Amino acid sequence: MPVYEYKGLTTEGRDVSGIIDADSPKTARVKLRQSGVYPTHVVEGAGESAHRFGSETRAERPGQPLSRLSRIRVVERAGLMEVAFLTRHLATLTAAKLPLMEALTALMDQLEKGELKRIVAEVRERVKEGSSLASALAQYPSVFSEVYVNMVRAGEASGMLDGMLLRLADYLEYQVRLRNQLVAALTYPIFMVIIGGLILFSLVAFIVPKITLIFEEVHQVLPWPTVALIAMSHFLNRYWWAVLMSGLFGLFGLQQYIKTPAGRARYDRFLLRVPVVGRVTLLVAISRFTRTLSTLLTGGVPLLPALDVVRNVVQNTVMAEAIDRARQNIGEGESLAEPLRKSGMFPPLVTYMIGIGEKSGELEPMLIKVSEAYDHEVEATIGTLTALLTPVMTLVMAGVVLFIVLAILLPIFELSQIVR
């Protein structure tokens, strides 16, 4: 049944808005009038996006996947934290033995108006028509990941949906914390690099040429730092737009190249070889691998399908290839630890603890312990990286400024010697 967003007036004259399900716009208006609301605007499945992107925006109907434009809007509005909030509240409602349809209705009422609320309304309609919750969520891959859908499917099959949703909420909140740590650690260094680069660029391109103009009028041999600075400043002063455009096109080209399979593979290999940064990348990938695999196995997902899901979570093609090879070997009868050890991508501690977990029948708790250990190491490494980046960037900028100052002062000293 289609979902309609409406705006209207109550009998007291108050403005109201919300979502209602009906067979047609006419039926929706009738139902609203029966409930004491006089509709002024009824739109099928469009919501705020219809007003923001114009009346030509195509309404998404239940039963149809989201269009590319709608998925972009959902990614912008339905962040990971909002999905975690939704999951935890749904888990609370189902744990209270509330039927799924009533839980989805109550959840929809708690959400603020927007794309996520519309999606929950459409999911509710799919479930009402006989679809499973997992199948309904799978129609929105830009919001509900493959891990999410598989966990919900396993929870429905085992009759433990509330417990599975609680694990999912914990998992999503962990992902949010990890992302926030990385963003917080990199924001200040990136900000410093951008601001410092702009200041130095402006200094060399527009200010230095005016200062060094006097040296060009003096017919004497200039020191090489001054010659280099004058040549650089003249070039930037004349062709700064070309430098800027080249940089932008270079970044765009690199971004497009990384999107190709070969480019992504080379980029991931390079990233793992960068000092410190490669270490953090590897630690984050291992933490995601172990925690996600533990979450899926605890939820009742078999090992081989779980590995298919996990390979996309690590977000590194080198690690994904190692997991693919491990999956093939496991399908031939090997244990999990041995092919991971042979890949060379997993530290001995990881494979050793996984091996112990397999032998003791406690693989899921052992994977969580590995993840927690590597989470602490990620935090410590990020703290060290942040502590090192600031003085290193300060020294680099100080070195550039010192070069500029020397390039300007050296000929002045030589002129003073000639005058004496």
The CATH number for 307's domain is 1.20.81.30
Provide, rounded to the nearest whole percent, the portion of the chain with pLDDT above 90: 2
Residue 231: inside a domain: no
The answer as to whether 352 is a domain residue is yes
Q: Is the pLDDT reported for residue 143 higher than 70?
A: yes
Q: Are residue 55 and residue 86 in the same domain, yes or no?
A: no
State the residue range of the domain holding 115.
Answer: 75-172
Torsion of the alpha carbons at 214, 216, 217 and 220, rounded to the nearest 10? 110
Whether 390 and 188 have beta carbons less than 8 Å apart is answered as yes
Q: Give the global pTM.
A: 0.63
Q: How far apart, in whole angstroms, are the C-alpha atoms of residue 139 and residue 135?
A: 7
Query: What does the pLDDT average to over 102-128?
Result: 83
* Higher per-residue confidence, 33 vs 361: 361
Examine the domain organization and report whether 145 and 60 are in the same domain.
no
How does residue 253 score in pLDDT terms, banded at 50, 70 and 90? very high
Whether 291 and 315 share a structural domain: yes
Number of domains in the chain: 3
Structure tokens, 90: 């749904």
Residue 404: is its pLDDT beyond 70? yes
Residues 167 and 92 in one domain: yes
Single residue among 154, 172, 190 that ends a domain in this structure: 172
Instruction: Answer yes or no: is 241 within a domain.
Output: no
**pLDDT higher than threshold 80 for residue 181:** no
Do residues 143 and 78 lie in contact, with contact meaning Cβ atoms separated by under 8 Å?
Answer: yes
Share of the chain above pLDDT 70, in %: 86
The amino acid present at 85, given as its one-letter code, is: F
Report, as an integer, the average pLDDT of 209-214. 75
Instruction: Count Cβ atoms below 10 Å from residue 190 Cβ, excluding itself.
Output: 12
Question: Would you say 19 and 121 are in contact if contact means Cβ atoms under 8 Å apart?
Answer: yes
Interval 320-342: pLDDT, tens: 888 888 888 888 888 888 888 88
Give the domain-ending residue among 137, 172, 207.
172
Q: Judge if 109 and 23 occupy the same domain.
A: no
Q: What is the pLDDT of residues 260-319, one digit of tens each?
A: 988 888 998 998 888 877 888 888 888 888 888 887 888 778 888 888 888 877 878 888
Where is the domain boundary, 40, 64, 88?
64
pLDDT band at 219 (very low <50, low <70, confident <90, very high): low
pLDDT of residue 210: 77
C-beta separation of 20 from 4 below 8 A: yes
**When comparing pLDDT for 16 and 67, which is higher?**
16
Higher pLDDT, 132 or 23: 132
- Distance, in Å, from the CA atom of 179 to the CA atom of 177, rounded to the nearest integer, reads 5
Beta carbons of 138 and 144 less than 8 angstroms apart: yes
DSSP string for 143-161: TS-HHHHHHHHHHHHHT-H
pLDDT at position 68, please? Answer: 35
| Mean pLDDT, rounded, for 181-196 | 79
| Residue 170 in tokens | 């914990």
Distance of CA 29 to the CA centre of its chain: 40
Q: Higher model confidence: residue 23 or residue 142?
A: 142
Range in 18-22, 216-220, 363-367 with the lowest mean pLDDT: 216-220
Out of 23-27, 245-249, 374-378, pick the least confident: 23-27
Q: Given this model, what pLDDT does residue 74 score? A: 37
Note the pLDDT tens digit of each residue in 52-69.
333 333 333 333 333 333
